[in-house]
Amino acid sequence: MVRERIPESREVEEGTITVFSRVAGWTGYGAAWRVRAIMAQPFAAGDLVVDIGTGPGTIPLHLQRFFPEAVFFGLDVAPAMLAQARYHSRRMAVDLPVLCGQGESLPFGDNTLDMAISFFTMHHIDEPARLLAEVDRVLKPDGRFLLIDFRRDMPAFIYHAMNTFWQLAFLLSPGRRGLMESIDSAWTPAEIRACLAANGLSRFQVNQSRTELLITAGIKKFEENPDDLC
Ligand SMILES: C[S@@+](CC[C@H](N)C(=O)[O-])C[C@H]1O[C@@H](n2cnc3c(N)ncnc32)[C@H](O)[C@@H]1O
């Protein structure tokens, strides 16, 4: 029996931004390395890639280093997060244009982007169909998409272990009780599959690991072998 979803009811926890940004400064490289392994397809010169819910921007900043031929943008609803993205951009001496906006209303024209990515942001979104329809609109017909987030129906022992680890990591940060709010507000793979079917969003594919939900489009790895997660 899957627990009912409890919306986060806020876009970002203001009290944790600095700590989150510091942690992301260390973890961004690992996440970008994993994304590079999952994509395993090169970009063409000038390909445009948006990171929806970029937060401190460390993932697209490292991806920009891995793929200098592409142009990465960070988009986030929280100006304080974008300030952190600018800080990391200066620190890493990598250019990352950032935009303030919502994933459900992307500031791009139809069929303009080569790729959209989004990490650990979908649980903030109460109407996933709106975000996915926007991604469908802005992506070129052969555009790629990679979204990773928690899944609410992860095993209970992992849920509690992750929450405890997070509480320790964020011990000094006010306003954060752990990771449980994020996981409780996350979507299950079954809910996303139903949402895609109900809205005729046929380009997307749903994959899952024990703890994560992945929504993809045009990623060869998953088209060829849907169970091969890394
Ligand atoms: C948990 S953080 C993840 C940040 C980054 N992707 C990472 O993995 O390090 C989620 C981010 O999503 C942003 N966010 C929340 N709701 C959003 C929305 N509707 N549109 C765009 N960004 C949003 C928050 O401001 C926050 O920066």
pLDDT in tens, 38-73: 988 889 999 999 999 999 999 999 999 999 999 999
CATH code for the domain in which residue 79 is found? 3.40.50.150
Residue 175 has pLDDT above 90, yes or no: no
pLDDT of residue 176: 57
Within-domain flag for 9: no
Ligand 1 binding pocket, CB closer than 6 Å: 11-12, 24, 52-55, 59, 76-78, 81, 102-104, 119-121, 124-125
Within-domain flag for 213: yes
Are 57 and 84 in contact by the 8 Å Cβ rule? The answer is yes
Within-domain flag for 168: yes
Within-domain flag for 1: no
- Closest residue by CA, ligand 1 atom 24: 12
Within-domain flag for 7: no
Phi, psi of 192 (to 5 degrees): -70, -40
Query: For the residues 137-154, what does the mean pLDDT come to?
Result: 97
pLDDT of residue 178: 64
Atom number, ligand 1, closest to the C-alpha of residue 182: 1
Grade residue 74 by pLDDT with cuts at 50, 70 and 90: very high
H or E element at residue 80: helix 79-92
Within-domain flag for 8: no
In order, the DSSP letters of 123-164 are GG-S-HHHHHHHHHHHEEEEEEEEEEEE-TTS-HHHHHHHHH
Candidate of 8, 9, 10, 11 to mutate for ligand 1, largest count of ligand atoms within 8 Å of Cβ? 11
Tokens standing for residue 87: 């800080």
Grade residue 227 by pLDDT with cuts at 50, 70 and 90: low
- Total domains present in the chain: 1
Within-domain flag for 155: yes
CA atoms of 21 and 69, how far apart (whole Å) = 26
CA atoms of 226 and 212, how far apart (whole Å) = 14
Write down the pTM of the prediction.
Answer: 0.94
Q: Is the dihedral of CA 98, 101, 104, 108 positive or negative?
A: negative
* Containing structural domain, residue 59: 14-220
Grade residue 21 by pLDDT with cuts at 50, 70 and 90: confident
Within-domain flag for 227: no
